[in-house]
Structure 1
Amino acid sequence: MNCNQGTPLGHVLASKASSAFSTTSAASATSAGTSRSGGSRLLFGEIDTSSDRSSELFASVCSFVLCDSSTFLKFWLEDKCRDTFLACVPKEDLASLRLACHDFSVRAAPALFNDLTITFRSSTFTRPARVAALDRLGFYVKTLRFNLPHSSETFLPPLVDPETGAELSFTYTPQIEAPTAKRPKYGDIGTTEILTRQWPTLFHAATNVPAFIRSFSAFVNLSHLKVCCPGYDQTQRYRRGTVDYALISLRIAVEQNNLNSLDFLTLSPIYPGGILHLSPILGYGASPRSARRWSRIRHLTMHVVNSPSPQLANEPDHFKLLQTYIRNFQSNLTTFKFRWIGSKGRTPFQRRIISTELTGEHPASRAAGTEEPFAARHRSTPLLYFPKLQHAEFENAKAAADDIAQFAAAHKRTLGELNFDDIELTSGTWNDALEPLTKRPRAARRSAETADIPIMLSPTTLLPAAMEQVRITTHQESGSGRKSLRMSSWLPSKRKPKAPPPVASIKKPKDGLLGSEGQLRKALRAGVFSWR
């Protein structure tokens, strides 16, 4: 295939096709954009086979890959070459490539739908054409970006009693099963009618939990879920919105489906109220099964909007909720990335009152001018402990050196990389904070090494006088005619060693076996080396 620079891939493929292929592609593209029957269901550029075209026409299109070029066929049928090429092709050209033939459509689908973005609307999970498209293509989705933007349309007005005009309170209870006449969607018939009349369609789509469960069942190979809630306004943090209810339905949909490949979770950006609704313990409709599903997450990334409460300036309300939410991922988490959006906030692993929890006494009761040794302050387990943590990143936060040292000391055995970016120390220095990672362990005492060394007959090192000291004693065992061998002189003895003979009487050993023939002959005759 020779492509000029700047020429779209779809045009190059179309130039190599027959006239029937060109007619079919044009008709299919036109029907996908205008017709309401057949082609209107082709949201991703599939070949329309529901019309009255002849089967030979589609046969010629599907056999387009059977071209005369052996070089192209060898390239296209090689999995590594084809997958590498498709990974570099833009999505716009991949959509055009799927129109060429059936084989191109099948091969390009995994690369085109590997990363899918869904912006929640009132008809996202209720339109039959979209649901059918997810059933066909959800198998290829591995990364799902779910956008829930905040806007003026997402905020809900207060409920008003149509008869008295008084404001009504509403407690939401998620319904996993489809509503019926005996079991209304919002508890009772009166409340359901009021909500249907006064609140917009987007709210009812957000509370349609069965539709969320039905749609997420198509993502059987989903491995990375990204939840994005942009446009959060801190001045409207106490108002209800459809984003809150959509997050509840999203959490229940993930818990109800067997998404066994889901290992990555990214919340960027996420507002404080969204953490509450995503919590499998404190959220609406939570159950013991909820925490079990989310505890399988191994990689967590959180970019949280910092919204301090004016009533509790020292300790925001959502900080406790944040720590409770992160605690659900402690068992299997290996990668943790956290960043505050806006003003600097405290690190999630920071304790509220360190001296009281570690020493058991109030800070005011400590004598003036006395301070606890730094090494003793970070020995205990931190508030958040991840036994399998290998990579951690914290950005745009403030923390005390004691908290960082305590966190590093508890995870230094498993932690391979620890990054701090734009961190403000409220107390202590970085040398104190990183002391557990920079301090060398004490040198281990060298223990005496012992080993069993076998006896070896080495004529070059064994003197003839030492060979003569080997005593071989034989005696008859009771009831048997075998001889027993005892080499007591070779074993360690408590007796004092004999004085060595004079130097003049010791003969110098010769090289090889020369000079020790008599000793070896005596040992062999006595049956020391018996192979019977």
Structure 2
Amino acid sequence: MTSHSFSKFWSTDLTRDSLLSLLDTPTLKSLRLVNRAFAATTSRQLFRDVYITFRSSTFTKPARMAALERIGWNIRSVTFVINHGAEMFLPPLLDPLTGEEVCFVFTPCVRTTTPTSSPTAPASGSTSTAAGERQGVYGTWEMTDLLVKQYPPLFHAAMNVSSFVAALTHMPALRHLKVSCAGQESTHRYRRSVVDYALSSLRIAIEQAPLPRLEALSLTPIHPGGIQYLCPMAGIGSLPNSCRRWTQIRRLEIHMDTFPFDKGQATDHLKLLHSYLQAFRALRDFKFRWVGDGHKGPSPLSLATEPALCELASRSQACPKTRHYLRPLKFPYLQYMVLGNAVLDASQVSDFLTEHRHSLLEFDFEQVSLRSGTWDDALAPWRTLSSAEYDAAWGEKQPAEVEVMEVPFVLGPSPEESPATSSPEQYSKRRKKKKKKRHARTTEVAVNNDLFASTAAMLLEEEPVHRGSLNFRTLREGLSNWARSKGMFWGHGHGHGHGSSHDYLHKAVQSPILV
């Protein structure tokens, strides 16, 4: 391939992007180091999807933040991984003098200065500023000293909300955020760890960073307690306008660890899940699956009618005002829904399909079993759709009728014949020719008028009885006007001999005007 051909190939977006999508990561890295032109185009494909594993220096190391600032505008998808483990465990906070447990209340604080690797290190040269920052993050000097000495650096990195905000600010074109929090044991379900603090900081950063293109969120997987720290309405550090960012989400995918929810079991996680889903009003694509061995969970879209939650709400008879009923979820723009590894009633499926029958296009139940009823009863609202509702829901519309007709049009004079582009001599010659044609046409009209008149006189002489009351002058003018309007003679008379004229006269004599 010559240099010219390769330059043309590389300058075409479609061919270049198709080639880059087939290359592996090491090849893209080598191609990026060839020259500046290759670096600019290759970076879009190389840094399109970023995989981040949370560590103590992930968002606090200056060199990493500088590199993220250079390549952040290429990032479209981020996978944020923070798995549960022994290093994520937080022991009780104890007073070194008395040995008593100290209660720590997390109060998020976003600093406007450059984030540092340690929350106790001053961000500027002023001692008062550093003291103010320490008070803003951990409350008091005593609490700050206890946390620094007893908790690992990973905890302080998770508490540094400003570093999360700065990292997401460098990704203005982010569209899809993936969060993975795997590995939690069932015995640690009600124990707070570093993962929970990191999720709170991540949620606050998403709400404060400028992310106008964020439209997809994936929590695969997420532990049940993590929903509490991601909830914009009941999470730590929530503000009145916290739900504004989450209304941008169009696609949501959740894989949650299963837990027992039978009668007598705790249902707090289900209530938190129901409250969390209420923030996604503009949802169009929703996928939910319970992850666990041998256990199935309830439908997150029908928690308002779940028997375990309804029974708890109906128990309170002494104080009826304290009874809490969940409102049914309604997604007015929902088009695609996938539910996996769940158990529910046929009435719950029927109510959901009835509520979303005008917007839902496709739904899929994977490993879903019914506690009561049959699938015929569950899918009855979908089968009883009218033809108009079916077409509106599934988009199967008849093609519009196309009407074809012939429209006459008149072409204007060509530029060669226009007076503006031709010379004055040519224009005068054309005018003379037009005058000659007009004069010849007038002469021919007069001759034909005389010819019509003589023919009419002969007819009147042959049949004087039947046409005695006909005026000769009126007949002549009528024949002349009729000939002009029809154009039978004037349009075809030029260039014809006398034989043709007699044929046309014969037709004219037999016309209805003379009969």
TM-score (norm 2): 0.66
Q: Which runs of 5+ in 1 are unaligned?
A: 2-67, 364-380, 445-516, 519-532
Distance verdict in 2 for CA 1:154–1:440, change over 3 Å: closer
Q: Are 2:275 and 1:324 aligned?
A: yes
**Given the alignment, which residue of 421, 435, 440 partners 2:380?**
435
SS at match of 2:252: strand
**TM-superposed deviation, 1:100:** 1.2
SS at match of 2:366: strand
Query: Which of 435-444 and 81-90 deviates more?
Result: 435-444
- Residue type of the alignment partner of 2:227: I
Q: Give the distance between the partners of 1:416 and 1:261, measured in 2 at CA.
A: 24
Distance verdict in 2 for CA 1:278–1:382, change over 3 Å: closer
Is the Cα contact below 8 Å between 2:289 and 2:340 reproduced in 1?
A: yes
**Given the alignment, which residue of 197, 201, 204 partners 1:245?**
197
Q: Are 2:389 and 1:389 aligned?
A: no
Is the Cα contact below 8 Å between 1:349 and 1:382 reproduced in 2?
A: no
**Given the alignment, which residue of 266, 269, 275 partners 2:227?**
275
Is the Cα contact below 8 Å between 1:113 and 1:140 reproduced in 2?
A: yes
Q: Give the distance between the partners of 2:139 and 2:306, measured in 1 at CA.
A: 46
- Which residue number in structure 1 is paired with residue 35 of structure 2? 101
- Which residue number in structure 1 is paired with residue 285 of structure 2? 335
Q: Are 2:350 and 1:405 aligned?
A: yes
Query: Which of 206-215 and 183-192 deviates more?
Result: 183-192
**Given the alignment, which residue of 207, 232, 239 partners 2:184?**
232
- Which residue number in structure 2 is paired with residue 159 of structure 1? 93
Distance verdict in 2 for CA 1:194–1:392, change over 3 Å: same
SS at match of 1:159: coil
SS at match of 2:278: helix
1:6-37 Cα deviation digits (max 9, x unpaired): xxxxxxxxxxxxxxxxxxxxxxxxxxxxxxxx
Distance verdict in 2 for CA 1:437–1:382, change over 3 Å: farther
Q: Give the distance between the partners of 1:145 and 1:338, measured in 2 at CA.
A: 18
- Residue type of the alignment partner of 2:166: R
- Which residue number in structure 2 is paired with residue 137 of structure 1? 71
CA RMSD in angstroms, aligned pairs only: 2.6
SS at match of 2:78: strand
**TM-superposed deviation, 1:349:** 2.0
Q: Give the distance between the partners of 2:36 and 2:309, measured in 1 at CA.
A: 66
Is the Cα contact below 8 Å between 2:267 and 2:309 reproduced in 1?
A: no
**TM-superposed deviation, 1:182:** 3.0
- Residue type of the alignment partner of 1:318: H
Q: Are 2:275 and 1:306 aligned?
A: no
Q: Which runs of 5+ in 2 are unaligned?
A: 114-118, 120-129, 316-325, 390-511
**TM-superposed deviation, 1:69:** 2.5
**TM-superposed deviation, 1:238:** 2.4
Q: Give the distance between the partners of 1:395 and 1:320, measured in 2 at CA.
A: 19
SS at match of 1:163: coil
Q: Give the distance between the partners of 2:179 and 2:29, measured in 1 at CA.
A: 26
Percent identity over paired residues: 43
**TM-superposed deviation, 1:316:** 2.4
Is the Cα contact below 8 Å between 2:257 and 2:291 reproduced in 1?
A: yes
Q: Give the distance between the partners of 1:199 and 1:355, measured in 2 at CA.
A: 42
1:512-531 Cα deviation digits (max 9, x unpaired): xxxxx99xxxxxxxxxxxxx
Q: Give the distance between the partners of 1:102 and 1:109, measured in 2 at CA.
A: 11
Report 1:75-154 matches (<5 A). 75-154=9-88
- Which residue number in structure 2 is paired with residue 447 of structure 1? none
Is the Cα contact below 8 Å between 1:263 and 1:298 reproduced in 2?
A: yes
**Structure number with larger C-alpha Rg:** 2
- Which residue number in structure 2 is paired with residue 376 of structure 1? none
- Which residue number in structure 2 is paired with residue 526 of structure 1? none
- Residue type of the alignment partner of 1:213: V
**TM-superposed deviation, 1:356:** 13
Report 1:137-216 matches (<5 A). 137-177=71-111, 180-183=130-133, 184=135, 185-216=137-168
Q: Give the distance between the partners of 2:362 and 2:76, measured in 1 at CA.
A: 27
Is the Cα contact below 8 Å between 1:337 and 1:393 reproduced in 2?
A: yes
How many residue pairs get aligned? The number is 359
**TM-superposed deviation, 1:289:** 1.4
- Which residue number in structure 2 is paired with residue 18 of structure 1? none
- Residue type of the alignment partner of 1:388: Y
- Which residue number in structure 2 is paired with residue 293 of structure 1? 245
Distance verdict in 2 for CA 1:429–1:250, change over 3 Å: same
Is the Cα contact below 8 Å between 2:261 and 2:297 reproduced in 1?
A: no
Distance verdict in 2 for CA 1:94–1:191, change over 3 Å: same
**TM-superposed deviation, 1:138:** 0.5
- Residue type of the alignment partner of 2:337: A
Is the Cα contact below 8 Å between 2:220 and 2:254 reproduced in 1?
A: yes
**TM-superposed deviation, 1:240:** 2.2
